[in-house]
Amino acid sequence: MIDKNIFRQYDIRGVVDTQLNKKNTKLIAYHLGKAIQEKSKKNAYVVVGYDIRKHSKMLFEALVSGLNKAGCRVLNIGLVATGVNYFASYQKFEINNKKIKPNASIMITGSHNAKKYNGFKITVNNEPFFDQDLMNVYENIINSKEIKIPKDVSFTKINAKKPYIKYMLKQFAHLKGLNQKFVIDCGNGVADTVLTKILDKLELNYKALHPKPDGKFPNHHPDPSVKKNLKELKLLLKGKRDLGFAYDGDADRIAVLTKKHNIKGDTLAYLFSKTMKNPVIIGEVTYSQNIFDEINTHGKSIMDKTGYSNLRLKLKELNADLAAEVSGHIFFNDRYYGYDDAIYATLRVLELVSSGMNLDKEIKKLPKVYTSSNIEISVNENEKFKIMDNIKKLIKEPQRGFPVIKDIIKVDGIRIVFEHGWALVRASNTNPILVTKYEASSHATAVSYQRAVENLIQKAIDELNSTSS
C-alpha cells in the first residue's frame, strides 16, 4: 500500500525507505509517465535531474525504470539545481541529429526538508504538475493492478548546465567586475553545481561558504529560513562584506542579507518592482500590507494563495512581471521564464546594487509596522481543514471583545483585516499545522490580535473535539 500523504499539494515528498522506496517509486513513475504522455499527446521526452541527498541516485534509477515502462524517453541532466532542471525544459537539445524540446521535467529533491526526506517536483508543458494532477496519479495507482516494472535505467545524457551558465553570463555581462563584496552560503546543497562558475566568469568579489555538494550536510542544514543556519554568513557580514546570499538544498529558494536586514521575499518583490515600468506583482497572503500598498504607488499588486506552484501558474495566467513568496521563492517573468530560481535571483539582486540602489535605505523608507513571523499550531493532519471550516463559521459572529473586523479575505485561509492591522490563519498544504501571522501598527496591538485569534482557534478545535467524541 502506498502512503497517500506523500502526494502533497505541490509535489511528491516523503521519508525514504518508509514512505518512498524503489518499488513504489517505480510505480509512481510509471503512472506519472502515463499522465505525462497523455498531457503531451506524444512520446514524451522527460528531463530528470537530482539533488545531492544520499538516496537521490537510488530514486533516480527507480524513477527512470518506471518512466521507461510508461514509454517516456528520459533525458538525464544529473546533479543540478532545480532552476537548471526547469531551464532545461525550455531549451532544445540535439538528440539523434534532431532538435528536441522536452515535454516535462522531474527534479528529485527533498528541498529544505531533513536528510531522511526526498521527493519529486514535476512540470509538464512548462506548467506545475500538482494538486489534483498528483491525486489522479495516486488514484490510478490504487485503482490499477500492480504491474511488474523491471530495472531499466536507459536514458540519454544531456548537458543542461552548460547552456544555463552561458545564458546567465550573457544576461548579466554588465555585472562583470562589479565592486561589491558579498558572501554565498550554499549549505552543501546543489547551488554550486553552477553558481561559482558564473560568479568567477563575471569576475565578482565573493566568498563561498560550504559550496561542495554533500548529502550529509555536515555544516548546517540547507534551510535559509532558519536563523541558526545563517550564523556563519551573518558573522562575515560584520566584517568588510556587505551582502549575503543563502540557499536551500535544491537552490530554488533564497535568503538575502545585508548588515542590517534579512530581506524577506515580499520586500524583495518590492525592491525589484522599483526597477520595472508599470509592474504587475503577485504576492501571497502572508505579505505585509505595506508591501502591497507601496507597490501600488507605481504599479499593481495582486494577492494570491501561498505555494510555489500556485504563484507560478498565476504569474503565467496574468502575464505578470514577478511573483514571490515571503519564504524566498522568487519568480521572474520579467526577462526570464517565470519559475523560481535562487541563482537567477542572486544575479538580479546584484543588478539592483550595480544600478546604485542602497537596499537598506530603500527598506528604511517603508512605513513602519510590526509583523510577526509565521506562528505554527500543531493539529491533526486529518482535522486541519475541518478546524478551518469551524474558524470561518465562528468569525461570522465573534465573541464579545473580539477586535472590530473591517474585512475578511478568503484567498487562502482567512486574512482578517482589523482597524490597525491584520491576522492570518491558514492550513498548511504540506504539514499537519495551522499557520498564523499578525501585523499591526505596534507590537502591543499585534499581540492583542494574536490573543484574540488564538482564542478563536482554540474554540474551533474544542468544538470539533466535542462533536467527534
Range of the domain at 257: 162-364
- Percentage of the chain beyond pLDDT 70 is 100
Do 354 and 427 sit in the same domain of this protein?
no
Do 344 and 201 sit in the same domain of this protein?
yes
Do 151 and 172 sit in the same domain of this protein?
no
Domain end position, chosen among 342, 364, 386 = 364
CA-nearest of 341, 360, 356, 333 to 279 is: 333
CATH of the domain at 439: 3.30.310.50
Grid cell for residue 40: 503531451
Neighbour tally for 402: CB within 10 Å:
17
Do 198 and 336 sit in the same domain of this protein?
yes
- The label of the residue with cell 474554540 reads 459
Number of domains in the chain: 3
Do 278 and 423 sit in the same domain of this protein?
no
CA-nearest of 94, 93, 83 to 343 is: 83
Q: What is the pLDDT of residue 145?
A: 86
Domain end position, chosen among 124, 159, 194 = 159
Do 200 and 127 sit in the same domain of this protein?
no
Do 24 and 51 sit in the same domain of this protein?
yes
Sign of CA dihedral 309, 313, 315, 316: positive
Domain end position, chosen among 159, 180, 201 = 159
Do 355 and 463 sit in the same domain of this protein?
no
Residues taking part in catalysis: 111
Do 344 and 386 sit in the same domain of this protein?
no
Return the DSSP state at 233.
Answer: H
Asked if pLDDT for residue 83 goes beyond 70, the answer is yes
Do 310 and 352 sit in the same domain of this protein?
yes
Taking only the tens place, the pLDDT of each residue in 353-400 is 999 999 999 999 999 999 998 999 999 988 999 999 999 999 999 988
- Percentage of the chain beyond pLDDT 90 is 92
Do 143 and 214 sit in the same domain of this protein?
no
CATH of the domain at 62: 3.40.120.10
Asked if pLDDT for residue 150 goes beyond 80, the answer is yes
* Structural contact between residues 408 and 414, judged by C-beta atoms closer than 8 angstroms: yes
Do 334 and 210 sit in the same domain of this protein?
yes
